[in-house]
Each structure stands twice: as structure tokens, then as C-alpha cells.
Amino acid sequence: MPKCLWTAITALALLITASATASANPLPINQLPMYGGRAKTEEMKSADADFIASMKKGGLSRADGAKQVLGRGWAAWAKGDTTTAMARFNQAWLLDPENGNVYHGFALITAGRDGTASEVERFFRLATSRPKVDAEAFVDYGKFLWMVKRLDESQAELNKALRISATARNARSHVAFTYYLKNDFTNACTWAWEARNNGDELERGFLEEMCNRAGKPDEGKPASPAGPPA
């Protein structure tokens, strides 16, 4: 093969590879969980060092700084601003990669951006494997698991949430829904009652229908078809 032709083919192959890589990760580095594992430029590394130094200058440890930045990330998430949220979650990860709540944030944003189930679960597993993590991570992981029809695993994670916090919001409502999916209406009714008493979110008519199906008409009345908790 002529050398010039081989050179052209090699260049084309490199171009295609680069294009495919760019297509796979079209987002900027600060919009990828853990910065996508990409190598940073010297300018980026300098900015990171300045950011960490600013936390120390403000009298915060890296762990405390991470908590502060996470708070900003969750505030942005609550407003639907996932761009700012991801940037803050990445900053929190830079400060304290042992904070499980960081990976919880990564899981939710990845899910919202139509990431694969395996990608989302990877971050949930990282979150729940850390000693520093809130009950909400287990609640959302439990919800994810029943959505992919892994009901027993879902219940296990939701019960972990309740062991961390007896009032973990929506843990009981999701447990109730897993029992509904199992056609165990007696337990669905019981857990739905507990969810309502805890102030959890329940689909309208869910409690009444579960108790009616369980043969407990005194605890409710037939309602519209059951739907999942919010």
C-alpha cells in the first residue's frame, strides 16, 4: 500500500475516532460526573487549586466545604437548573470524594439526562456505599430499583433509608408501591397508611384502592387505578 494512502487512511481513522468520542460526550468537562475522568489542562488544575485554597482560607475543611457546595447544588437541582447543579456536585466531589451525597446528585442528573440504567445505578451504588450519605439516597435508589422491576432489592434499599431516618420522606410510599406491584395488597394497604401518617406523597386514591383490594373496606373505598408515588 502506498505510504501516502496509508497516511490518509490513518488520519481518517483518527478523525472518525475523535468524532465518535466527541459525540459520546458532547458536554463540557464540568457537566460530566467526576469531570468524566478526563485529563485537565494546567489552567483547570490551577483553578481547582485556587478553589480548594479559597475553602481553607474561609476556615472550612474540605469536607465542610463539600457540604456547603452540595447545598448550592441541591438548591439548583430543586429549581431545575441541572447545569449549575452538576457543576456544584463536581466541585463537591473535588473537595470530598467520600461524601456519598455527591454521587446521589450524579445519579439523579444522569437519569434526567437519559443515561443508561447501568450508568445511573453505578452512581447510586457509589452513593450508598459511602458512610457519609443521607437517607434520601437510599429512597431514590429504591425508587430506581422498582422502576426496573427489581422489587426485593428496592425494598431492601428503602428499609435502609428508614434505618437511617425513621421519617425518611417517601420511603414508605415506595415500599407500598412495591407491594402493589407484587399484588400483595394487604402490605400495600399497611404501608400506604404509614406513608400517609408520615406525610409522604401518595398518588390520589392509592391508599383507598389498596385497602379495598386487601378486603379492608373500612379503611378506604374503591378509587381510580393505582399509580406510583410521585
**Residue 82 CB coordination number (10 Å):** 18
- Dist. CA 225–CA 204, nearest whole Å: 9
Query: How high is the pLDDT of residue 27?
Result: 86
**Is the pLDDT confidence value at 10 over 60?**
no
Which residue type is seen at 193?
W
Residues recorded for the chain: 230
Which residue type is seen at 132?
K
Question: What distance lies between CA 80 and its chain's CA centroid?
Answer: 14
Look at domain 28-133 and name its CATH class.
mainly alpha
* Mean pLDDT of the region 136-152: 98
pTM of the model: 0.82
- Dist. CA 46–CA 33, nearest whole Å: 20
Contact by Cβ (8 Å): 203, 197: no
Question: What distance lies between CA 214 and its chain's CA centroid?
Answer: 33
Per the listing, cell 478553589 goes with 51
Query: How high is the pLDDT of residue 127?
Result: 98
- Dist. CA 136–CA 133, nearest whole Å: 8
**Is the pLDDT confidence value at 52 over 80?**
yes
Query: How high is the pLDDT of residue 194?
Result: 97
Contact by Cβ (8 Å): 172, 142: no
The mean of the pLDDT values for the chain is 87
Nearest to 104 by CA among 147, 70, 145: 70
- Dist. CA 221–CA 202, nearest whole Å: 15
**Is the pLDDT confidence value at 117 over 70?**
yes
Please tell me whether residue 170 adopts helix, strand or coil conformation. coil
* Mean pLDDT of the region 21-27: 58
Contact by Cβ (8 Å): 201, 230: yes
Q: Where are the alpha helices (DSSP H) in the chain?
A: 3-24, 42-57, 62-78, 82-95, 100-112, 117-128, 135-147, 151-164, 171-181, 185-198, 206-213
